[in-house]
A and B are shown apart, each in its own frame.
Chain A
Amino acid sequence: MSLFSTLRMARIATLLITTSVAADSAFADVGPAAAVVIDNFLFSPAQLSVAAGATVTWENRDDIPHTIVNDATPRTFKSPPLDSGEKFSEVFIKPGTYRYFCSLHPHMTGTIVVK
């Protein structure tokens, strides 16, 4: 990471990476960023593909708190309760499929695919 200028890192980190962009090897090792928003008790996008090393940030836009909890044993990530407007970030290093849900409203589910 230290090979890259902080300017370049900051610029790339603010980009929203879509599935197709995440597959681009040019972004694969620079810690790209992606976002999931929570609106009306739904994760959007519910399915998200990112490159290994990506930081995914969830933002709660509801008037009710939510959590982001990895649905696996052992659990690799679990957010504190996110009140309205709060965010939670997780860095995904290892490729794989990560299912998650809201532990308050478990019908809310989503998946992060790390390539």
Chain B
Amino acid sequence: MPDLTNETNQTNEIDPPETLSGYGAKRRTALSCMAWAGAGMLWTLSGGVPGSKLLSGTAQAAEVDRHAFSFVQISDSHIGFSKDPNLDPASTLKEAVDKIRASNEKPAFMIHTGDISHLSKPGEFDTAAQIVGSAGLDVHYVPGEHDVLIDDGNSYFERFSKPADKKWYSFDQGGVHFIGLTNVLNMRGGGLGFLGDEQLAWLKQDLTRRSSSTPLVVFAHIPLWSLYPQWGWGTDDSAQALSLMKRFGSVTVLNGHVHQVAQKVEGDISFYSAMSTAFPQPAPGTAAGPGPMKVPADTLRTLLGVRSVNYVPGQMELAIVDTRLSV
């Protein structure tokens, strides 16, 4: 299924706006690669056409900029993994966080879409929390299956859930409604990721109170779309969750788990899988199974990265920028 996988551009060049305008008008996202520290710009979408903030000089643009915000996504840090191709995922997580810190644009917050640890060990959680915390940002976590290996995930939830939150939660930022879901608990034999009736009932109630014009950003570890069910890359009851969101005009769904950039658009719902900060996995169906892809040391960092998501009020689409640790 190579058509579902859309790798970030290999180049570190930033295309001039003239080049992007025709390209961007047809595409729903700006998926490009840039050096955060070097460029000091974030791509935004204005009228469906990607541009850069430094180039927007009008009063209207300034007003929009005042209410716009960005957040960052990191995923699959797998602290505790120590095999080919990455003997030290703590160092690559640190590189990812350092990239975020070096950005001229301070993100409003960070989300971590799970597999913080490799084996749910307290020391792994501690190391990850310390490195992620060095970004100085509020962090919203959702668990991966590697984080809930012990004690039904209680050791994860005690550490990473905010006091008022249950195993799933929502919050608002700048007019956008964010929903963090857990789809790695109580998974059934022969099945995929699983949300469960209790979480779906909560989601229904949470969304009932929102107007359809509220942009939604939903994040979970395992894809909420059928990316590649043969490898378990999907969620059994995601269709029920997505049907609750159909009346909303702007829905962005972010996930980890697959350790690579992939995207899909279904109606008004856009799905994006993120890179890992630890190791890549093969593209769907291109290997005997998923799992760490053994790549040469000098290419590892071109397959790891972080994501920035930018929201501009009035724009239906959020701009997604995936940045590799090195190019």
Residue B189 at the chain A interface, CB threshold 8 Å: yes
Task: Tell yes or no: A41 within 8 A of B by CB.
Answer: yes
Q: Are B289 and A107 in contact (CB under 8 A)?
A: no
Q: What does the 1/0 interface line of A42-86 toward B look like (CB < 8 Å)? A: 100000000000000000001111010101000000000101100
User: In the complex, what's the smallest C-beta–C-beta distance from B62 to chain A, in angstroms?
Assistant: 49
A106 in contact with B290 given A63-B83, A65-B146, A81-B149 (CB within 8 Å): no
- Give per-residue flags for B189-220: 1 if the beta carbon is below 8 A from chain A beta carbons, else 0: 11110100000000000000000000000000
Chain B residues whose C-beta falls within 8 Å of the C-beta of A63 in the assembled complex: 83-84, 291-292
Q: A84-B83, A107-B191 are in contact. Are A65 and B118 (CB under 8 A)?
A: yes
Q: Does A27 contact B (CB under 8 A)?
A: no
Whether B189 lies near A40 (C-beta < 8 A) is no
Give, as a whole number of angstroms, the nearest-CB distance from A54 to chain B: 22
Given contacts A62-B291, A63-B83, A101-B189, contact A41 B231 (CB under 8 A): yes
SS of A interface (majority): loop
Main secondary structure of the interface of B (DSSP, over half): loop
**What's the tally of chain B residues with a CB closer than 8 Å to chain A?**
26
Task: State whether the Cβ of A105 lies closer than 8 Å to any Cβ in chain B.
Answer: yes
The verdict on B232 contacting chain A, using a C-beta distance below 8 Å, is: yes
Q: Which residues of A contact B290 (CB under 8 A)?
A: 41, 64
Contact status B291-A106, CB under 8 Å: no
Where the two chains meet, the residues of B that have a C-beta atom closer than 8 Å to any C-beta of A are: 83-84, 118-120, 145-146, 149-150, 187-192, 194, 229-232, 287-292
Task: Return 10 A-B CB contacts under 8 Å, by A number.
Answer: A40-B288, A63-B291, A65-B149, A71-B188, A71-B190, A106-B188, A106-B190, A106-B194, A107-B192, A108-B232
